[in-house]
């Protein structure tokens, strides 16, 4: 089981991010929101993932960076939940929607729940 989160798995393309926010679907499981969109470009073969913490909710840069670091770690540990059984690649954006600080354990549980909800939504469509 691959638990890396390398450069090729990070969502960096401005074009892809814009399309994701315009056309993507979302699922929520407090304190996370996941926006997702299937990638149609045949050159991209794996999932592209990004994390975001709004400045409006977490005022200090130190707090935002800590939460983003924890979100990336929680995704890295649990990405097998989405990458193993879905056939096509997706662009994923995890957004933190709480004002409160959170521990890694709580974030881990929320990450698992939001990924399972995402899998259920995708299974319904296919």
pLDDT in tens, 18-49: 999 999 999 999 999 999 999 988 888 888 99
What is the pLDDT, as a whole number, of residue 114?
96
Q: Say whether pTM exceeds 0.85.
A: yes
Q: Residue ranges of the domains in the chain?
A: 7-125
On whether the 7-125 domain is CATH 3.30.230.10, my answer is yes
**pLDDT digit string, tens, across residues 65-88:** 999 999 999 999 998 888 887 778
Let me know: does 84 contact 45? Beta carbons within 8 Å.
no
User: In percent, how much of the chain has pLDDT > 90?
Assistant: 71
Let me know: does 5 contact 80? Beta carbons within 8 Å.
no
State the CB neighbour count (10 A cutoff) for residue 48.
Answer: 21
Q: What is the mean pLDDT of the chain?
A: 92
What is the pLDDT, as a whole number, of residue 1?
61
Query: Helix, strand or coil for residue 116?
Result: helix
């Amino acid at each position: 089981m691959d638990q890396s989160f390398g450069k090729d798995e990070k969502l960096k393309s401005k074009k892809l991010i814009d399309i994701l926010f315009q056309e993507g679907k979302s699922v929520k499981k407090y304190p996370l929101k996941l926006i997702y969109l299937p990638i149609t470009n045949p050159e991209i073969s794996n999932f592209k993932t990004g994390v975001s913490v709004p400045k409006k909710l977490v005022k200090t840069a130190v707090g935002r960076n800590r939460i983003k670091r924890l979100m990336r770690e929680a995704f890295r540990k649990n990405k097998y939940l989405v990458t193993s059984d879905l056939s096509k690649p997706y662009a994923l954006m995890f957004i933190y929607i709480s004002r409160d600080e959170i521990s890694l354990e709580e974030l881990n549980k929320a990450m698992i729940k939001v990924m399972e909800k995402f899998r259920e939504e995708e299974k319904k469509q296919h």
